[in-house]
Amino acid sequence: MSDLISYRLDDGIATLTLSNGKVNAISPEVIAAFNGALDQATQDKAIVILTGQPGILSGGYDLKVMTSGPQNAIDLVAAGSTLARRMLAHPYPIIVACPGHAVAKGAFLLLSSDYRIGVDGPYSIGLNEVQIGMTMHHVGIELARDRLRKSAFHRSVINGEMFDPQGAVDAGFFDKVVPAEQLLPTALAVAQQMKKINMNAHRNTKLKVRAALLETLDKAIELDKQHPL
Protein backbone atom coordinates (compact mmCIF):
# COMPACT_ATOMS: atom_id res chain seq x y z
CA MET A 1 0.00 0.00 0.00
CA SER A 2 2.69 2.52 1.07
CA ASP A 3 6.11 2.76 2.67
CA LEU A 4 4.43 4.77 5.43
CA ILE A 5 1.51 2.41 6.10
CA SER A 6 1.76 -1.20 5.01
CA TYR A 7 -1.42 -3.15 4.24
CA ARG A 8 -1.83 -6.87 4.74
CA LEU A 9 -5.13 -8.63 4.12
CA ASP A 10 -5.69 -12.08 5.59
CA ASP A 11 -9.02 -13.84 6.07
CA GLY A 12 -11.08 -10.66 6.06
CA ILE A 13 -8.74 -8.80 8.43
CA ALA A 14 -6.63 -5.89 7.16
CA THR A 15 -3.55 -5.10 9.24
CA LEU A 16 -2.25 -1.55 8.79
CA THR A 17 1.25 -0.94 10.14
CA LEU A 18 2.41 2.64 10.60
CA SER A 19 6.10 3.14 9.85
CA ASN A 20 7.39 6.71 9.66
CA GLY A 21 10.64 7.06 11.55
CA LYS A 22 11.35 6.33 15.19
CA VAL A 23 8.31 8.24 16.52
CA ASN A 24 5.89 7.37 13.68
CA ALA A 25 5.14 11.05 13.12
CA ILE A 26 1.77 11.84 11.57
CA SER A 27 2.50 13.88 8.44
CA PRO A 28 0.28 14.89 5.52
CA GLU A 29 1.74 11.96 3.61
CA VAL A 30 0.92 9.54 6.43
CA ILE A 31 -2.67 10.80 6.54
CA ALA A 32 -3.00 10.37 2.77
CA ALA A 33 -1.63 6.82 3.05
CA PHE A 34 -3.97 6.08 5.96
CA ASN A 35 -6.98 7.26 3.95
CA GLY A 36 -5.87 5.09 1.04
CA ALA A 37 -5.56 2.09 3.34
CA LEU A 38 -9.06 2.67 4.73
CA ASP A 39 -10.37 2.94 1.17
CA GLN A 40 -8.82 -0.45 0.41
CA ALA A 41 -10.12 -2.00 3.62
CA THR A 42 -13.62 -0.80 2.81
CA GLN A 43 -13.35 -2.29 -0.67
CA ASP A 44 -12.14 -5.54 0.90
CA LYS A 45 -14.94 -5.41 3.51
CA ALA A 46 -12.27 -6.06 6.10
CA ILE A 47 -12.02 -5.50 9.81
CA VAL A 48 -9.03 -3.21 10.44
CA ILE A 49 -6.16 -3.69 12.87
CA LEU A 50 -3.92 -0.62 13.20
CA THR A 51 -0.50 -1.06 14.76
CA GLY A 52 2.94 0.53 14.78
CA GLN A 53 6.57 -0.33 15.41
CA PRO A 54 7.82 -2.07 18.56
CA GLY A 55 7.59 0.44 21.40
CA ILE A 56 5.43 3.04 19.68
CA LEU A 57 2.17 3.65 17.89
CA SER A 58 2.83 7.34 17.25
CA GLY A 59 4.34 10.34 18.99
CA GLY A 60 1.93 12.74 17.29
CA TYR A 61 1.93 15.19 14.44
CA ASP A 62 5.12 15.83 12.47
CA LEU A 63 6.74 18.72 14.32
CA LYS A 64 8.61 19.83 11.19
CA VAL A 65 5.27 20.51 9.55
CA MET A 66 3.70 21.96 12.69
CA THR A 67 6.51 24.51 13.05
CA SER A 68 6.85 25.37 9.35
CA GLY A 69 4.12 27.99 9.43
CA PRO A 70 0.70 28.61 11.01
CA GLN A 71 -1.26 27.62 7.91
CA ASN A 72 0.67 24.37 7.51
CA ALA A 73 -0.11 23.51 11.13
CA ILE A 74 -3.80 24.35 10.71
CA ASP A 75 -4.00 22.29 7.51
CA LEU A 76 -2.30 19.27 9.10
CA VAL A 77 -4.55 19.34 12.15
CA ALA A 78 -7.63 19.69 9.91
CA ALA A 79 -6.55 16.68 7.87
CA GLY A 80 -5.90 14.68 11.03
CA SER A 81 -9.24 15.68 12.52
CA THR A 82 -11.04 14.70 9.34
CA LEU A 83 -9.28 11.32 9.51
CA ALA A 84 -10.41 10.88 13.13
CA ARG A 85 -13.99 11.62 12.12
CA ARG A 86 -13.72 9.12 9.28
CA MET A 87 -12.39 6.43 11.63
CA LEU A 88 -15.28 6.98 14.03
CA ALA A 89 -17.77 6.45 11.18
CA HIS A 90 -15.88 3.67 9.40
CA PRO A 91 -18.32 0.93 8.29
CA TYR A 92 -16.21 -1.91 9.72
CA PRO A 93 -14.59 -2.24 13.16
CA ILE A 94 -11.20 -0.61 13.74
CA ILE A 95 -8.99 -2.24 16.36
CA VAL A 96 -5.76 -0.60 17.53
CA ALA A 97 -2.92 -2.85 18.66
CA CYS A 98 -0.75 -0.22 20.36
CA PRO A 99 2.80 -1.56 20.80
CA GLY A 100 4.03 1.18 23.16
CA HIS A 101 3.82 4.95 23.40
CA ALA A 102 0.79 6.80 22.02
CA VAL A 103 1.14 10.55 22.47
CA ALA A 104 -0.92 13.50 21.21
CA LYS A 105 -2.28 12.51 17.78
CA GLY A 106 -1.13 8.96 18.56
CA ALA A 107 -3.51 8.95 21.52
CA PHE A 108 -6.26 10.47 19.40
CA LEU A 109 -5.94 7.46 17.07
CA LEU A 110 -6.88 5.36 20.09
CA LEU A 111 -9.87 7.59 20.83
CA SER A 112 -11.03 7.32 17.20
CA SER A 113 -11.14 3.51 17.17
CA ASP A 114 -13.61 0.85 18.24
CA TYR A 115 -11.36 -1.38 20.37
CA ARG A 116 -7.94 -0.50 21.81
CA ILE A 117 -5.29 -2.91 23.12
CA GLY A 118 -2.08 -1.73 24.78
CA VAL A 119 0.99 -3.50 26.08
CA ASP A 120 2.55 -3.69 29.53
CA GLY A 121 5.72 -1.64 29.89
CA PRO A 122 7.21 1.78 30.63
CA TYR A 123 5.06 3.54 28.05
CA SER A 124 3.30 6.90 28.07
CA ILE A 125 -0.23 7.30 26.78
CA GLY A 126 -1.99 10.62 26.59
CA LEU A 127 -2.40 14.16 25.35
CA ASN A 128 0.67 16.29 26.03
CA GLU A 129 -0.38 19.35 24.01
CA VAL A 130 -0.31 21.81 26.93
CA GLN A 131 3.06 20.42 28.00
CA ILE A 132 4.59 21.44 24.66
CA GLY A 133 2.89 24.83 24.49
CA MET A 134 -0.02 23.97 22.23
CA THR A 135 -3.56 25.04 23.08
CA MET A 136 -5.80 22.03 22.57
CA HIS A 137 -7.80 22.22 19.35
CA HIS A 138 -11.60 22.07 19.40
CA VAL A 139 -11.76 18.62 17.78
CA GLY A 140 -9.33 17.22 20.34
CA ILE A 141 -11.36 18.60 23.23
CA GLU A 142 -14.63 17.17 21.91
CA LEU A 143 -13.16 13.78 21.04
CA ALA A 144 -11.56 13.48 24.47
CA ARG A 145 -14.75 14.68 26.17
CA ASP A 146 -16.72 11.91 24.46
CA ARG A 147 -14.30 9.00 24.73
CA LEU A 148 -12.43 9.55 28.01
CA ARG A 149 -13.87 8.86 31.42
CA LYS A 150 -15.11 12.03 33.08
CA SER A 151 -12.62 11.67 35.93
CA ALA A 152 -9.71 11.68 33.45
CA PHE A 153 -10.93 14.28 30.95
CA HIS A 154 -9.72 17.43 32.71
CA ARG A 155 -6.55 15.76 33.96
CA SER A 156 -5.72 14.75 30.40
CA VAL A 157 -6.80 17.76 28.33
CA ILE A 158 -6.15 20.68 30.70
CA ASN A 159 -3.27 19.30 32.78
CA GLY A 160 -1.57 17.22 30.08
CA GLU A 161 -1.30 14.24 32.43
CA MET A 162 0.28 11.18 30.84
CA PHE A 163 -0.79 7.68 31.82
CA ASP A 164 0.97 4.36 32.06
CA PRO A 165 -0.75 1.52 30.17
CA GLN A 166 -2.93 0.39 33.08
CA GLY A 167 -3.81 3.98 33.92
CA ALA A 168 -4.72 4.43 30.28
CA VAL A 169 -7.33 1.68 30.68
CA ASP A 170 -8.82 3.50 33.65
CA ALA A 171 -8.78 6.81 31.75
CA GLY A 172 -10.45 5.38 28.66
CA PHE A 173 -7.62 5.29 26.13
CA PHE A 174 -7.37 1.47 26.21
CA ASP A 175 -9.86 -1.34 26.60
CA LYS A 176 -7.26 -3.84 27.79
CA VAL A 177 -3.51 -4.27 28.30
CA VAL A 178 -1.59 -7.45 27.52
CA PRO A 179 2.07 -8.58 27.50
CA ALA A 180 3.89 -7.42 24.37
CA GLU A 181 4.14 -10.91 22.89
CA GLN A 182 0.35 -11.26 23.12
CA LEU A 183 -0.50 -7.97 21.40
CA LEU A 184 -1.12 -9.08 17.83
CA PRO A 185 -2.56 -12.49 18.77
CA THR A 186 -5.03 -10.70 21.05
CA ALA A 187 -5.91 -8.20 18.33
CA LEU A 188 -6.49 -11.03 15.87
CA ALA A 189 -8.67 -12.85 18.40
CA VAL A 190 -10.76 -9.71 18.89
CA ALA A 191 -11.05 -9.32 15.11
CA GLN A 192 -12.16 -12.93 14.73
CA GLN A 193 -14.79 -12.41 17.40
CA MET A 194 -15.98 -9.24 15.65
CA LYS A 195 -16.39 -11.15 12.39
CA LYS A 196 -19.39 -12.80 14.03
CA ILE A 197 -21.36 -9.56 14.21
CA ASN A 198 -23.57 -8.29 11.40
CA MET A 199 -21.62 -5.50 9.73
CA ASN A 200 -24.68 -3.61 8.52
CA ALA A 201 -25.99 -3.57 12.07
CA HIS A 202 -22.54 -2.58 13.33
CA ARG A 203 -22.32 0.34 10.91
CA ASN A 204 -25.85 1.59 11.50
CA THR A 205 -25.59 1.29 15.28
CA LYS A 206 -22.20 3.01 15.30
CA LEU A 207 -23.63 5.93 13.35
CA LYS A 208 -26.62 6.18 15.71
CA VAL A 209 -24.45 6.05 18.82
CA ARG A 210 -21.96 8.60 17.48
CA ALA A 211 -24.37 10.88 15.61
CA ALA A 212 -24.09 13.74 18.10
CA LEU A 213 -20.30 13.37 18.33
CA LEU A 214 -19.88 13.35 14.55
CA GLU A 215 -22.02 16.49 14.24
CA THR A 216 -20.00 18.16 16.98
CA LEU A 217 -16.74 17.21 15.28
CA ASP A 218 -17.92 18.64 11.94
CA LYS A 219 -18.49 21.99 13.66
CA ALA A 220 -15.22 21.72 15.57
CA ILE A 221 -13.23 21.04 12.39
CA GLU A 222 -14.53 24.30 10.93
CA LEU A 223 -13.77 26.19 14.14
CA ASP A 224 -10.20 24.90 14.13
CA LYS A 225 -9.73 26.09 10.55
CA GLN A 226 -10.74 29.61 11.59
CA HIS A 227 -8.61 29.97 14.70
CA PRO A 228 -4.82 29.55 15.03
CA LEU A 229 -3.60 26.82 17.35
For residue range 58-69, list pLDDT tens digits in order: 999 998 999 899
Confidence at 229, pLDDT banded by 50, 70, 90: low
- Smallest CA-to-CA distance from 1 within 11, 191, 14 is with 14
Global pTM value? 0.96
Check if the beta carbon of residue 80 is closer than 8 Å to that of residue 31: yes
10 three-class SS: strand
Check if the beta carbon of residue 220 is closer than 8 Å to that of residue 142: yes
For residue range 179-222, list pLDDT tens digits in order: 999 999 999 999 999 999 999 999 999 999 999 999 999 999 99
Spell out the domains of the chain, with CATH numbers in brackets: 5-226 (3.90.226.10)
For residue range 128-178, list pLDDT tens digits in order: 999 999 899 999 999 999 999 999 999 999 999 999 999 999 999 999 999
Looking at residues 72-81, what average pLDDT do you find?
A: 95
Confidence at 2, pLDDT banded by 50, 70, 90: confident
In angstroms, the CA 204 to CA 202 distance is: 6
In angstroms, the CA 8 to CA 135 distance is: 37
Confidence at 226, pLDDT banded by 50, 70, 90: confident
The pLDDT of residue 216 is: 98
Check if the beta carbon of residue 125 is closer than 8 Å to that of residue 198: no
Check if the beta carbon of residue 202 is closer than 8 Å to that of residue 47: no
The pLDDT of residue 228 is: 60
In angstroms, the CA 229 to CA 225 distance is: 9
For residues 16, 128, 144 and 206, what is the CA-based torsion angle, rounded to 10 degrees?
0
Residue 56 carries which side chain, given as an amino acid letter? I
- Smallest CA-to-CA distance from 94 within 80, 115, 110, 108 is with 115
- Smallest CA-to-CA distance from 95 within 17, 190, 201, 204 is with 190
CA distance readout (Å), 95 to 55, 74, 114, 158: 18, 28, 6, 27
Which residues are CB-contacts of 216 (< 8 A; sequence separation ≥ 6)? 142, 146
